[in-house]
Amino acid sequence: MTPPPAAGRAPYDAVELIRCKRDGGELEPAAVDWLLQAYTDGEVAEEQMAAMAMAVFFRGLTRAELGRWTAAMIASGERLDFSGLSRPTVDKHSTGGVGDKITLPLAPLVAACGVAVPQLSGRGLGHTGGTLDKLEAVPGWRAGLSNAEMLAQLEDVGAVICAAGSGLAPADKKLYALRDVTGTVESIPLIASSIMSKKIAEGTSALVLDVKVGTGAFMKDEADARALAETMVGLGQDAGVTTVALLTQMSSPLGLTAGNALEVQESVDVLAGGGPADVVELTLALAREMLGAAGRGDVDPAAALADGRAMDVWRRMIRAQGGDPDAPLPRARETEVVRAESDGVLTSLDAMAVGLAAWRLGAGRARREDSVQAGAGVELHVKPGDRVRAGDPVLTLHTDTPERFDRARAALEGGWSVGPEAPRAEPLVLARIA
């Protein structure tokens, strides 16, 4: 256990806590509270927290430690309260992938079914796209809302997609940035506490998690993804938040686009009753889980998608945040088509390769302060299992800066293949964890 604090000193010593965890010991609850608050306040140095993160990376956290770690990150900031709304609330979180625009049609769809959706989202980094980057392709739309604006929009429209305020789990915000530059991102306890501290602090009464699995996902292995999902579900349930997780496939891109404006257009197509079958399937699967978690499992979201109610909420949601749902979306100035070199069936299309290509075309960022191109990205003309002939378009690359084409094509080398037989069909939803 944690060594006791020495007389006349701060309640705990950071170095002693690091040694305790490094050697496989368990931090007592008060030590975890002190560590996270002292780090947030700047009393624990960045290099000390980096060492602690590495110790957790190798030694893990017990369930008791993890629960306290998550609670301490929540306690470092404010906690929102949606209990005054006239309808139940439910949120959804995705661990991120390529072409994952599901939040855009999902939030208005669930709101159209009578449940409020406070969707606090983030920006993209690397090969995974960010929901806020996508929506900022809509002319006039703004991500920054005050708590009062968010509550008012939830009551009036039923759905809001916006940036999390600076007061929400500031310990996590600081630790997340540190993990990103110290090689400690891939730790299930640190991932789980990071996600769940923000979601619990957000104040929603129910949460559905979309945990991606595959080459384009953060978790490449299904066993690791299942462990992460089970950990997060446990944290949510322990905090009194009804929590469910779906494991979903992310070895090929979701839908037919990866980018910002490209994905917004695809989302609008889904709300209009069209769009790619896999995007529609996952949107409806997550909507049913969200409605069930919020106590509205008797409502069929497919009806709200088909009759236009979801589209109506989308338009109101965009307008409420200053956007123009009728304005043309940005288009890249330059395009280049990648074509099939032989006849056959597209046997694979690697999500990571497509994500890296979209990133290199300008749709993503290498650093958080980088800007993105609204029109940049990759358009897919075929999916695995589709037949192609030599010369047929497979992908179209979009960018404002044509000098990026070479590096984008390099990212796609070996990322797709054509063969004589169709690949074995994989289910989109791999498992449900509750």
Catalytic residue, candidates 123, 127, 198, 360? 198
Q: Which helix (H) or strand (E) holds 417?
A: strand 416-419
CA dihedral 30, 31, 35, 36 (to 10 degrees): -40
Which pLDDT value is given to residue 7? Answer: 46
pLDDT (mean) for 121-147: 88
- Summary mean pLDDT of the chain: 94
Give the span between the Cα atoms of 363 and 132, in whole angstroms: 12
Which part of the chain has CATH 3.90.1170.30? Answer: 334-419
Q: What are the DSSP calls for 241-267, one per residue?
A: -EEEEEEEE-SS-STTEEESHHHHHHH
- At the topology level of CATH, where does 91-165+200-320 sit? Pyrimidine Nucleoside Phosphorylase; Chain A, domain 2 (3.40.1030)
| Best CA proximity match to 419, nearest among 394, 392, 385 | 385
pLDDT greater than 70 at residue 114: yes
Q: How far is CA 355 from CA 67, 109, 335, 384, in A?
A: 34, 27, 17, 16
Give the span between the Cα atoms of 74 and 63, in whole angstroms: 17
Give the sign of the dihedral formed by CA 139, CA 140, CA 143, CA 148.
negative
In this structure, are residues 342 and 373 in contact, taking their beta carbons and an 8 Å threshold? no
Which pLDDT value is given to residue 167? Answer: 85
101 as an active site residue: the answer is: no
**Per-residue pLDDT tens over the stretch 246-296:** 999 999 999 999 999 999 999 999 999 999 999 999 999 999 999 999 999
**Per-residue pLDDT tens over the stretch 284-336:** 999 999 999 999 999 999 999 999 999 999 999 999 999 999 999 999 999 99
In this structure, are residues 349 and 147 in contact, taking their beta carbons and an 8 Å threshold? no
Residues in the chain: 434
Share of the chain above pLDDT 90, in %: 86
Catalytic residue, candidates 93, 134, 360, 404? 93
194 as an active site residue: the answer is: yes
CA dihedral 298, 302, 305, 308 (to 10 degrees): -70
Q: Phi, psi at residue 207, to the nearest 5°?
A: -145, 135
Share of the chain above pLDDT 70, in %: 97
**Per-residue pLDDT tens over the stretch 153-188:** 999 999 999 998 878 899 998 998 898 788 898 899
pLDDT (mean) for 337-350: 96
93 as an active site residue: the answer is: yes
pLDDT (mean) for 407-414: 97
Catalytic residue, candidates 76, 187, 194, 197? 194
Catalytic residue, candidates 101, 127, 173, 179? 179
Catalytic residue, candidates 33, 91, 133, 172? 172
127 as an active site residue: the answer is: no
pLDDT greater than 60 at residue 400: yes
Which pLDDT value is given to residue 410? Answer: 97
Which part of the chain has CATH 3.40.1030.10? Answer: 91-165+200-320
- CB within 8 Å of 300: residues ≥ 6 apart: none
pLDDT greater than 90 at residue 140: yes
Which pLDDT value is given to residue 166? Answer: 78
197 as an active site residue: the answer is: no
Tokens at residue 97, please? 């992938």
In this structure, are residues 258 and 363 in contact, taking their beta carbons and an 8 Å threshold? yes
CATH superfamily of the domain spanning 334-419: Pyrimidine nucleoside phosphorylase-like, C-terminal domain (3.90.1170.30)
Which pLDDT value is given to residue 59? Answer: 97
